[in-house]
Amino acid sequence: MDINPRAHLHADIRRSVRELCRDFDSAYWQKLDETAAYPDAFVAALTQAGWLSALIPEAYGGGELSLVEASVVLEEINRSGANSGACHAQMYIMGTLLRHGSDEQKQRYLPAIARGELRLQSFAVTEPTTGTDTTSTRTLAERDGDRYLITGQKVWISRMQHTDLMLLLARTTPAAECKKKTDGLSIFLVEVPQGAATADAAERSGLTIRPIRNLVHHETNEVFFDHFPVPATNLIGAEGQGMRYILDGMNAERILIAAECIGDGYWFIDKARRYATDRRVFNRPIGQNQGVQFPIARAYANVMAADLMRYEAAALFDNQKPCGAAANTAKLLAADASWEAANVCLQTHGGFGFAAEFDVERKFRETKLYQVAPISTNLILSYLAEHVLELPRSF
């Protein structure tokens, strides 16, 4: 039985992704969690199968899938018990290069990414002192002949040890000289020097990477730039327009992340219902008690409702209709639904929910991240309040 009422949609994609994920079982993910290792084999298999270049146009060797289809890929990864966080950025940051990159940049990078020879896995926006207030970005990119020199610091920059390219947001005009606070920021496609995580390489290149140990065993880092050179030809689009390009890509990101949450949500519900059926206490399955059933049923209803919103948002996106409100709502509802499902699943498992071998505590930690990254729940509420409901602006 498949508890997803929309499992018939894009069934071929679901089947292929599920088959691939079957080779990476719960023991595989637990081992990585234990050893804080990156899922190299899993990401290589997804790359080889072409799923990570799903959104690259066929003209550049990609799969040219719609956003709905791409979202199904990520949903099924998470539904299988795996974690898309190891590689999802390649899908959602691709749009910036696709929409705003020059023909030369696209010819140079996209076919190699589609062939799996180059990885575009890192997106450097967040800074320690500015946090969610992206327009206050301080990292500087100063023009120096035919290159820019980058100086500053980023934090929580994921997958730096497993990428060849990084999209970087940096300030090219001091904030005081900008008319609007969204002006003066630019996007660069940065080639990450091989071995940049080592001290030697950092000294040579001006790029230092320091891993951050964290709740979810998610490969993420502090990144320090010290006059780190980037060729001027790697500026994406027009100088000073970077914030606009980032905002432009956010709807796709929100929808893809919503789909991951939906995958998690169904995984938790399925796990909870199976355990509630098998586990016997007081001579009956615990799931026979409505006190156990109802929270599972409610969480299921919320996952299904969020899933509908995700399809609505993705369809608007694919039809090039305004989708900011729908995409943000989908992300909000899906993240809340997966977190509710995670809590219910853990509670249903009682003490065993805390045991690593059941996987519930790992997925519980992983799905919590969606409340904060890539965008925190409050910031979505703020978007809906101000931009949709036209309530007074708060910042």
Contact residues for ligand FAD, defined by CB under 6 A: 123-126, 131-132, 156-158, 214, 216, 218, 220, 369, 372-376, 378-379, 382, 394-395
Containing H/E element for 101? none
229 cis-preceded (ω within 30 degrees of 0): no
Return the residue matching tokens 């059941």: 358
Nearest approach, Cβ of 133 to ligand FAD (angstroms)?
7
Q: Which is nearer to ligand FAD, 56 or 157 (by Cβ)?
A: 157
Q: Which two tokens stand for residue 44?
A: 């290589």
Distance between CA atoms of residues 43 and 289, nearest Å: 41
Q: Which is nearer to ligand FAD, 166 or 341 (by Cβ)?
A: 166
Distance between CA atoms of residues 174 and 243, nearest Å: 14
Nearest approach, Cβ of 385 to ligand FAD (angstroms)?
10
Nearest approach, Cβ of 105 to ligand FAD (angstroms)?
21
* Interstrand relation of 120-124 and 147-158 (parallel, antiparallel or unpaired): unpaired
Tally Cβ neighbours within 10 Å of residue 13.
Answer: 21
Q: Which is nearer to ligand FAD, 102 or 214 (by Cβ)?
A: 214
- Identify the sign of the CA torsion 235, 121, 108, 230: positive
Q: Which is nearer to ligand FAD, 216 or 308 (by Cβ)?
A: 216
Nearest approach, Cβ of 225 to ligand FAD (angstroms)?
14
Nearest approach, Cβ of 369 to ligand FAD (angstroms)?
6
Nearest approach, Cβ of 259 to ligand FAD (angstroms)?
18
Q: Which is nearer to ligand FAD, 20 or 192 (by Cβ)?
A: 192
Nearest approach, Cβ of 335 to ligand FAD (angstroms)?
12
Nearest approach, Cβ of 301 to ligand FAD (angstroms)?
26
The b-or-e profile of 313-346 (16+ CB within 10 A means b, else e) is: bbbbbbeeeebbbbbbbbbbbbbbbbbbbbbbbb
Q: Which is nearer to ligand FAD, 112 or 373 (by Cβ)?
A: 373
- Count Cβ atoms within 10 A of the Cβ of residue 206 and give its class: 0-12 exposed, 13-18 middle, 19 or more buried: middle
Q: Which is nearer to ligand FAD, 282 or 395 (by Cβ)?
A: 395
Phi and psi dihedrals of 151, rounded to 5?
A: -135, 130
Nearest residue by C-beta to ligand FAD? 131
Nearest approach, Cβ of 139 to ligand FAD (angstroms)?
11
Distance between CA atoms of residues 69 and 270, nearest Å: 23
Q: Which is nearer to ligand FAD, 246 or 316 (by Cβ)?
A: 246
3-state secondary structure of 237: coil
Task: Fill in the amino acid letter for 348.
Answer: T
Q: What end-to-end distance do the CA atoms of the chain give, in Å?
A: 48
Return the residue matching tokens 């289809």: 69
- Count Cβ atoms within 10 A of the Cβ of residue 177 and give its class: 0-12 exposed, 13-18 middle, 19 or more buried: exposed
Q: Which is nearer to ligand FAD, 131 or 174 (by Cβ)?
A: 131
